[in-house]
């Protein structure tokens, strides 16, 4: 009986040891996983969310997209959290191409912006009546049919931003009728912009872009705080290439702003037709660069 009792106590002790959780080991595993995710986001690719109308019509509020962090090499801005001191230069660096959509950090801010690269080092860039001129040559612009954008919570077509553009399609659904212009850069890259008419930022005196800098514009030309706009809201001129954090590649999914605590809304709020859309601009064969 004594031996049997000792065996039972030994079994209970063994079960107790099995039930104990190695909290230190668990914490190390979670820590290593977080480090791996941060390293991937800092060096390879990272998801981003579009919070503003500045890159319409290509990017809408509510779009989620992937940005490649290695496209132009790495710099102080590459880490997910901007913890490094601001330094000049890039590791394995290369300049963006004209027309690339990039994530960047302004010279005097820590937040991330998304804009399109228009001017490269050595270029003379100016705007006359809303038309871009590069090195004295007008960038091609061609009017397109208005874009009939469905109105939703993330694209409300507010009167402050898009006055007089609300309407309805043939079925009576509310739409925002956006004036579209197709712009083609000297390297043959084409993309659509929104032109709402005469604005203060339509005329910019010639700017010579310094070495290691780029000039950036938003596709929603009249509602973008880009290189034409001073701080604290805008980029305040050209941007050093080391302030560029990566290149926008494609949209993963898009939400119309109706997501709530109701699980059904997690599915009904998805915008159809946007997942997988490439953010690399079209290129024609008639390139002059």
91-135 per-position pLDDT tens digit: 998 999 999 999 999 998 889 999 999 999 999 999 999 999 999
Q: What is the pLDDT of residue 40?
A: 84
Q: What is the pLDDT of residue 61?
A: 98
Cβ atoms 179, 195 nearer than 8 A: yes
Q: Could you tell me whether strands 244-254 and 204-208 are parallel, antiparallel, or unpaired per DSSP bridges? A: unpaired
Residue 196 pLDDT exceeds 50: yes
Say what the pLDDT of residue 288 is.
Answer: 56
Is residue 33's pLDDT more than 90? no
> Which one of 115, 177, 224, 254 is the catalytic residue?
115
Q: Provide the pLDDT for residue 81.
A: 84
Peptide bond into 230 cis (omega under 30): no
Task: Tell me the per-residue pLDDT of 126-173, one tens digit each, with 9 for 90 and over.
Answer: 999 999 999 999 999 999 999 999 999 999 999 999 999 999 999 999
Tokens of residue 182, six digits: 């197709």
C-alpha torsion 209→233→43→191, nearest 10: -60
Query: What pLDDT was estimated at residue 287?
Result: 58
Q: Give the Cα separation of 91 and 10 in Å (integer).
A: 60
Residue 11 three-state SS: helix
Among the residue ranges 15-19, 97-101, 132-136, 223-227, the one predicted with the least confidence is 15-19
Q: Could you tell me the pLDDT band of residue 3, with boundaries at 50, 70 and 90?
A: very low
- Residue 16: CB partners within 8 Å, gap ≥ 6? none
- Assigned CATH for 48-283: 2.10.109.10
Catalytic annotation present for 28: no
Q: What is the pLDDT of residue 139?
A: 98
* pLDDT confidence tier of residue 1, bands split at 50, 70 and 90: low
Cross-strand pairs, 66: 47, 250
Whether 260 is catalytic: no
Catalytic member of 42, 46, 54, 177: 54
- Whether the Cβ atoms of residue 105 and residue 243 lie closer than 8 Å to each other: yes
- pTM exceeds 0.95, yes or no: no
**In the chain, domain spans:** 48-283
Looking at the chain, the whole-number percentage of residues with pLDDT higher than 90 is: 77
* pLDDT, position 8: 54
Cβ distance 180 to 162 under 8 Å?
no
């Amino acid at each position: 009986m004594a031996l049997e009792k000792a065996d039972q106590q030994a079994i209970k002790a063994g079960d107790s040891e099995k039930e104990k959780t190695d909290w230190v080991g668990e914490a190390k595993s979670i820590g290593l996983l977080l480090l791996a995710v941060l390293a991937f986001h800092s060096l390879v690719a990272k998801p981003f969310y579009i919070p503003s109308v500045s890159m319409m019509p290509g990017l809408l509020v509510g779009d989620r997209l992937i940005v490649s962090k290695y496209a132009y090499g790495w710099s102080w801005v590459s880490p997910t959290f901007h913890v490094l001191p601001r330094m000049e230069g890039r590791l394995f660096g290369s300049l963006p191409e004209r027309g690339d959509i990039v994530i960047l950090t302004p010279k005097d801010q820590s937040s991330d912006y998304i804009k399109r690269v228009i001017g490269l080092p050595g270029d003379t860039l100016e705007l006359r009546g809303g038309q871009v001129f590069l090195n004295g040559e007008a960038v091609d612009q061609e009017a397109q049919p208005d874009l009939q954008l469905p109105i939703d919570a993330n694209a409300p077509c507010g009167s402050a931003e898009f006055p007089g553009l609300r309407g309805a399609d043939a079925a009576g659904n509310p739409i925002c009728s956006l004036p579209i212009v197709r712009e083609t850069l000297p390297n043959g890259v084409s993309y659509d912009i929104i032109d709402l008419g005469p604005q203060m930022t339509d005329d910019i005196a010639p700017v010579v872009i310094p070495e290691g800098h780029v000039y950036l514009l938003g596709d929603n030309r009249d509602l973008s705080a880009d290189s034409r706009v001073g701080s604290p809201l805008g980029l305040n001129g050209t941007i050093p290439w080391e302030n560029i954090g990566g290149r926008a590649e494609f949209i993963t999914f898009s939400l119309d702003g109706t997501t709530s605590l109701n699980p059904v809304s997690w599915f009904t709020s998805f915008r159809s037709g946007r997942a997988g859309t490439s953010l690399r601009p079209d290129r024609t064969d008639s390139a002059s660069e």
